[in-house]
Structure 1
């Protein structure tokens, strides 16, 4: 139970991978704060975790595209003064299609949520991560964030935002070197949305199986459990089936 008693913040935890991470980390005894844009989704995840573990995570609304909201959220946590052991930057605004398919607002919000929001939240929580004495920043990027990757269904704006997230993670890793905060990133492909609450979560898999949330969750936990002298700076998951996240 490496995560028992650890204070973990997960953004975008109302559904999908973020919700799966929340359930699995709660199973392992983590003290969770989950955020998202939908009160209904966050409440559903929090209640499911309470029914499963007896402990209800703290849930707060947070729109990563709103720089003022993100800044105030981080300041509020700093004012509370409680250390943060792990920050998982999972929230991201998906935008498919061609650049000409979207108006300026959609493009701007995608960049704001995925880039500015991620940077401001992480910057704002570094003091609390340092306060823990062994903080971890894990950013869920995407193979869209890798150079020379085919766009497939992703828009240029989304791919650009994910490459910027990769740069944020790499830059923070260098800037925080020598301080008690480790910075890592995982680059998932297209993944099958599977919940730990679904019996299929534990089904046997073979080499022909699709990549699911379970694979990404297990990869993230593996990286976070490494000894402090080990940093898995960039973990690229490249399945035979290909695809983009």
Structure 2
């Protein structure tokens, strides 16, 4: 192992934004721990990163909707050998439509992946990171990037009540924890993307949504890594969504709620 080589653990690494995090961090010389449900895709990505960037990788096949899967990743996050400098909580589960019609198992999966797993993995990694900063064993930035969504900024989200609420939790949780650990030299950042061309937005792509509504996954990753390095607690990638986020802060909540109810599903 290269002396001083940093280690990053990325969940949901087998496709989409998570795969892009893995590529960019490998390019920067990080040792990688790749986590996803699909072992064969992790192995293929690990082989590609090794060939292209010479990256050292570990793969953990784990379903973060299960207690066993979360425990497996927690164990790695607490390991003293090759300690994790950066945890990217990217794994997420969508699920939409009228809440009353959603299947109970889908409801539970959103909560388990978007909230419970993210909280438990963050809790697993932070104590070691705090101690390493205190002792001087981690000279560079250490901490967590939590992938949320601009949906979490909306005051109401009919047709996406559970998903948007889970992402609102991610934002508030991240900002609160960031304030707690900032003086200890640990960075915690929430990235709030809009629509990105991933498996989760296939339905929107099939509807022929205009290119302007999508933010490239490359932009999401680059902006969030930059914000993390600078110690920022929140970043919204893409000019169109930055503008929308600023507008949401300025407009009265009652006006925004009325507009969403009128034009929403």
TM-score range, shorter chain: 0.7 to 0.9
CA distance in 2, matches of 1:71, 1:22: 22
> What root-mean-square deviation, in Å, do the aligned CA atoms of Structure 1 and Structure 2 show?
2.5
Query: For structure 2, which runs of at least 5 residues remain unmatched after alignment?
Result: 134-140, 200-210, 245-265
8 Å contact from structure 2 (residues 192, 235) kept in 1: yes
Secondary structure (helix, strand or coil) at the match of 2:183 reads: coil
2:234 equivalent to 1:234: yes
Which residue does 1:43 correspond to in 2? Answer: 43
Asked if the contact 1:64–1:114 (Cα under 8 Å) also holds between the matched residues in 2, the reply is no
Matched, 1:215 2:237: no
Higher RCO, 1 or 2 (CA under 8 Å, sep at least 6)?
Answer: 1
Relative to total residues, which structure has the larger helix share, 1 or 2?
2
1:62 deviates by 2.1
Structure showing greater Rg: 2
Distance change >3 Å, CA 209–CA 146, structure 1 → 2: closer
Aligned residues: 221
Distance 2:11 2:148 in 1: 13
The ranges of structure 1 where at least 4 consecutive aligned residues each deviate by more than 4 angstroms after the TM superposition are 207-210
CA distance in 2 between counterparts of 1:53 and 1:103 reads 43
Whether the 8 Å CA contact 1:87–1:138 is kept in 2: the answer is yes
| Equivalence for 2:189 | 184
Contact kept, 8 Å, 2:219 with 2:238, in 1: the verdict is no
SS state at 2:25 partner: helix
SS in 2 for 1:177: helix
- Which segments of 5 or more consecutive residues in structure 1 lack a partner in the other structure? 195-206
Q: Map Cα deviations across residues 183-242 of structure 1 (whole Å, 9 max, x no partner).
A: 111100001349xxxxxxxxxxxx96942111111102211332xxxx211112355488
Q: Which stretch has the larger CA shift, 177-186 or 104-113?
A: 177-186
Q: How does 1:157-176 map to 2 (within 5 A)?
A: 157-176=162-181
Structure 2 Cα separation of the partners of residues 62 and 209 of structure 1: 32
Deviating more after overlay: 37-46 vs 12-21: 37-46
